[in-house]
A and B are shown apart, each in its own frame.
Chain A
Amino acid sequence: MSADVAVRRPAAEPLPARPRALRRLTPGHVVALLGLLALAALPAAFGDFGFFVGQYVMVYAMVGLSVVVVTGYAGLISLMPYSFAGVGAMVTGAAMASWGWPFWLAAPLAAVATVPVSVIVGAASVRLRGLYLAIATLTAADFLGETFFRWDAATGGETGWTVTRPALGPIDLSGDPAFYLLTLVAAGLLVWMVEGLRTSRLGRAMYAVRDNEIEAQALGINVFKTKLVALVIGGMLAGLGGAFLAALLVTSAPSPFWSPVVQATSILFVTLVAIGGIDRALGAFFGALVVVVQQQIFGGAEFFFAFVGIYAALLLIVLLRFRPGGLVQIGRMQWQLIQRRPAVGTAVAVGVIAVNVGLAWLFVGLS
């Protein structure tokens, strides 16, 4: 069958050849590279505390990426991302503490271990409409909390497993700065991967299913399979994030994954990703940056749900009303401003970053 022209309407002008910027260095690449370098160095300005916070940002971003794929791409409201992270953390702990596996094998196992959970939850619930899926996932988190996360063989008991941070051959990565760099590389890699998914056959199928299931079917897309793939990939990302979380905390206690605390944390993850920009991989990173930095600067654990909750919730409500694309959308508008009026745009961007970094620096210095 020929794919040649058949229903051409009159007067077609030839299309310009599509520029493929795949292997060429664009300004965007330069900015991304500079940003990455800046991120690698930035915590140093805050001393030990900077690296401590930085690790959290990166690990939260990894778990947040699962929200990007499941909710942002495929439009499935899952309120159990943190339960998947918990499965990853427990599996990592069990593999390292009781079987003596190295982290580099335990982390992939953590990702794979989430697959059966995703498949069971998905097969039972992805045919449900959005609202029912939200209730189903809340319930599944409840169920996991009462069963898996109370099963001592999996969790290592109330105190959890002891996890050691990995080493890369002779290089020890257990110190905060080194582990921060490891999480930065891992999170960056995962952001790159999730971004690659977006512009691929399956990523487009996910967007299509999110926008209009019926049209997606009419264009030959298997809606059920597409949703299931999104859930499985999301689960694996969260599981991997959980592995890094266990390494970050050097332990894996099960109590944070009991209901209703686990749902509260999952909700925080959905909130922070929606703040960052729910349908872009970078959104998970921006969201984690904003929420975790606030959390760590303004208080310890008891402030966790209170102060950060108020701040994140208000920020999200305002963003959803006016900029539903989140911080990524604002960033893109800023980027357009830079391209249109380079001097003004760059000044604004540098100013915003400088003010934020400066404020953070001041607060850290004061506390």
Chain B
Amino acid sequence: MSGGAPVVEIALFGLSSGAVFGLLALGLVLIYRTTGIMNFAHWAIGLLSVVAYIGLTAAGIPGWGAVIISLPLAVAAGVGSYRLVFRKVSRANQIIVILIAIAVAQLFSSLAAFALGFDAFTRLAPWLPVTQVTIAGAVLSANELITAAAAVAIAFGFLVWFRLSTTGRALRAVAQNPEAAMLAGIDEAKYSQIAWGIGSALAGLSLLLVLPHVAGEQGGVLTAFEVSPLGTLLIPAFGAALVGGLVNMPMALVGGFVFGLARELLILAPAPWNGLRSSIAAILIVVLLLLRTERFFTVRQEREALEA
């Protein structure tokens, strides 16, 4: 997008990438608050769905069908890594948990690279319409509109479900107090797996919303950047999750839009400031970390831990 592009187009691009950040962050927060594990493998798990999508579309299956078929792979990877690895280590040792999350990220991104056959570039066919639509004089990409709308719809649907359904309530109970939930007859192991499953599906979906469409009508391209353990969008997704103190889901979604819009709207900034675009995510994250946002969402836990 060039410097002369109208504000609406840039804002829409910010909204659609923000929606994807928010969706990624939603999965991160769901897994973190339910099982206490920050999933550094989030991107890599989603990548497995992308690999399946590439294979399926190459085999002639229509894009939307490939999306539906490929999402369970991410779910299986997420649930599998929780059951086989994360569940077996004590949550108390944060260092080991983070090391394992890193190893899992490395494992899945390497598997993805392996499956893609080490090509420098892999083409992705788009599955959303990539035509240009003109609304009120602004030329907009249909896939960006759909991505923004779909991500918001999915996120809101998920949040409502999380708040109202029996499963959602059980998930929240496990998140707030695993022992109490267990005493109340809630199967903590089962709901932890559900959290990993849903979170991983969100990861796969987020990647599939964005990666096949990054190059507009040409579809998408995967390079070594995308096929790496953290990918290209996980850091802003961490930032979005931090807006909600890593535990609050609606705020994580808001955070996604903050990061998406901040990055894109900086294009419009005057000369020296638009250079901040590439590092704005890092700057925002440092500010959020210094604010210690978890304070606003977790009540006096630290003090009590000290008292114990």
Contact = CB atoms under 8 A, between A and B. Distances in A.
Interface of A: 71, 75, 77, 79, 124-125, 128-132, 134-136, 138-140, 142-143, 146-147, 210, 214, 259-261, 263-264, 267-268, 270-271, 274, 278, 302-303, 305-310, 312-314, 316-317, 320-321, 324
A324 B96 contact: yes
A129 B38 CA distance: 13
A135 B85 CA distance: 22
Contacts of B181: none
The 6 closest A-B pairs by CB, nearest first: A309-B110, A313-B107, A143-B282, A306-B113, A264-B228, A313-B106
B306 interface: yes
B296 interface: no
A307 B106 CA distance: 10
B296 to A, nearest CB: 14
Contacts of A268: 106
Q: Which residue, of A140, A214, A320, has the highest number of chain B Cβ atoms within 10 A?
A: A320
B286 interface: yes
B107 A124 contact: no
Contact of B110 (A132, A263, A302, A306): A306
A136 B285 CA distance: 7
Interface stretch (B10-18, B163-171, B229-237): B229-237
B118 A303 contact: yes
Question: Interface SS of chain A: helix, strand, loop or mixed?
Answer: helix
Give the size category of B's interface with A: 35 or more
A136 B286 contact: yes
Contact of B279 (A134, A147, A271): A147
B98 A134 contact: yes
A291 to B, nearest CB: 11
A131 B289 contact: no
B100 A320 contact: yes
A305 B110 contact: yes
A73 B105 CA distance: 24
Contacts of B242: 135
B98 A135 contact: no
Contact of B106 (A77, A138, A259, A271): A271
Contacts of B98: 77, 130-131, 134
A317 B85 contact: yes
B95 interface: yes
A210 B95 CA distance: 10
Contact of A309 (B99, B109, B285, B292): B109
Given A135-B285, A136-B285, A260-B231, A214 B306 contact: yes
Interface in B67-108: 85, 88-89, 94-96, 98-100, 102-107
Contacts of A129: 94
Given A128-B292, A135-B242, A263-B229, 20 more contacts: A135-B285, A146-B278, A146-B282, A260-B229, A260-B230, A260-B231, A271-B99, A271-B102, A274-B103, A302-B120, A303-B118, A305-B113, A309-B113, A310-B110, A312-B106, A313-B104, A313-B106, A316-B100, A320-B99, A321-B89
B227 A305 contact: yes
A305 B224 contact: yes
Interface in B240-264: 242, 246
Contact of A124 (B113, B238, B290): B290
B7 interface: no
B85 A138 contact: no
A261 B225 contact: yes
B133 interface: no
A13 B111 CA distance: 60
Question: Interface SS of chain B: helix, strand, loop or mixed?
Answer: helix
A314 B279 contact: no
A317 B89 CA distance: 10
A197 B263 CA distance: 44
Contacts of B224: 261, 305
A267 B89 contact: no
A224 to B, nearest CB: 15
Contacts of A313: 103-104, 106-107, 110
Given A134-B98, A135-B242, A264 B235 contact: no
Interface string B104-137: 1111011101100010100000000000000000
B40 interface: yes
A314 B225 CA distance: 22
Nearest to A300: B118
Given A138-B238, A307-B110, A128 B289 contact: yes
Nearest to B231: A260
Nearest to B290: A124
Contacts of A263: 228-230
Q: Which residue, of A140, A146, A210, has the highest number of chain B Cβ atoms within 10 A?
A: A146
Contacts of A77: 94-95, 98-99
A308 to B, nearest CB: 8
B29 interface: no
B70 to A, nearest CB: 20
Contacts of B286: 124, 136, 139-140, 143
B20 interface: no
A140 B230 contact: no
B232 A260 contact: yes
B252 to A, nearest CB: 14
B215 to A, nearest CB: 19
A142 B99 contact: no
A305 B114 CA distance: 9
Given A142-B235, A146-B278, A321 B85 contact: yes
